[in-house]
């Protein structure tokens, strides 16, 4: 399914409301003047308020498990608005709230 490509300016949050940011966007390809993000770039999560009773802590990082199937940058799939990630250590996902709306990929 086609979706909009994620870039540095996209608003991404963990399921609990923490702000997620990519650690290594690709500097060679830009959309809307901002660098695109690929599947290999882990995200860091700041400000996750989740404090479970079991003690596994708030979301700290996230790794993408679903990305584009046909469009790649530097041989790595780009992230799309419908891509999926898993946060560590909670095992929950990320919510992609806002991204650019001009360039789509599959």
Whether 18 maps to a domain, the answer reads yes
Whether 16 maps to a domain, the answer reads yes
Tell me what percent of the residues of the chain surpass a pLDDT of 70. Answer: 97
One-character DSSP codes across 32-86 = TTEEE-BTTS-EEEE------TT---S--EEEEEE--SS-EETTEEBPBTT-EEE
Angle at 3 between CA 42 and CA 58, to 5 degrees: 35
Domain count, the chain: 1
Span 85-99, pLDDT tens digits? 999 999 999 999 999
Tally Cβ neighbours within 10 Å of residue 47: 13
What is the domain-level CATH number for residue 71? 2.60.200
Whether 106 maps to a domain, the answer reads no
Of the pLDDT bands very low, low, confident and very high (cuts 50, 70, 90), residue 1 is low
Of the pLDDT bands very low, low, confident and very high (cuts 50, 70, 90), residue 38 is very high
Residue 55's domain comprises: 3-101
Whether 71 maps to a domain, the answer reads yes
């Amino acid at each position: 399914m086609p979706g909009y490509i994620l870039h540095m300016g996209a608003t991404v949050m963990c399921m609990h409301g923490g702000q997620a940011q990519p650690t290594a966007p690709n500097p060679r390809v830009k959309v809307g003047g901002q660098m695109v993000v690929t599947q290999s770039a882990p995200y860091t999560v700041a400000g996750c308020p989740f404090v479970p009773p079991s003690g596994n802590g708030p979301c700290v990082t996230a790794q993408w498990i679903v990305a584009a199937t046909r469009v790649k940058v530097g041989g790595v799939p780009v992230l799309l608005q419908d891509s999926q990630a898993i946060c560590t250590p909670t095992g929950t996902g990320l919510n992609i709230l806002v991204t650019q709306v001009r360039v789509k990929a599959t």
